[in-house]
Amino acid sequence: MLAFAWSTLWEDKEVLVWLSAFSAVTFVGSLLLIPFLCVRMGEDYFMPHRDHQVTLAGKHPMLRWTGLVLKNVLGMLVFAAGVAMIFLPGQGLLTILIGIMMLNFPGKRTLELRLIRFPGVLRTINHLRVRAGHGPLQLPPKDI
């Protein structure tokens, strides 16, 4: 049954066109969005003393909730694109990390630290930051 569905999927020309378009958009989007977000992140983003909840503090509750919902929806889209980029062209792990950073959920910090400690991810982000004239990211010791 699965083999039939898989072969039918790849024989449908319209599906292939949409998959190709999605692949191209996520690839170009990752090339533009990921460096921008990595450079804008503070050097101390991953440090324990950093408070990430002050962005809309003091604003009207409706504005805060709207911003929170939009940020999480965008984070889910970026996360989904990152998962797709594991199989399609693009910077999969880096895009997944950016998507997770935009989301709000319990255990987020632990997952962020686990992903940023992949040598290729940290090296890529720090390379982008140094090229843009920013300092490398600071990470807490592994036991925190």
Residue 19 lies in a domain: no
- pLDDT at residue 46, rounded to an integer: 81
Residue 127 lies in a domain: yes
Q: Average model confidence (pLDDT) for the chain?
A: 80
pTM of the full structure: 0.65
Q: How remote is the C-alpha of 53 from its chain's centroid?
A: 18
Residue 120 lies in a domain: yes
Residue 69 lies in a domain: yes
Residue 119 lies in a domain: yes
- pLDDT at residue 43, rounded to an integer: 85
Domain that holds residue 77: 60-133
- Which residue in 52, 48, 33, 35 sits closest to 103, CA to CA? 52
Residue 53 lies in a domain: no
Low-confidence stretches of the chain (pLDDT beneath 70)? 1-10, 50-56, 89-90, 143-144
- pLDDT at residue 2, rounded to an integer: 61
- pLDDT at residue 5, rounded to an integer: 60
Residue 20 lies in a domain: no
- pLDDT at residue 73, rounded to an integer: 93
For residues 136 and 134, what is the distance between their CA atoms, to the nearest angstrom?
Answer: 7
Residue 79 lies in a domain: yes
Q: How far is CA 7 from CA 4, 12, 139, in A?
A: 5, 9, 46
Report the domain count for the chain.
1
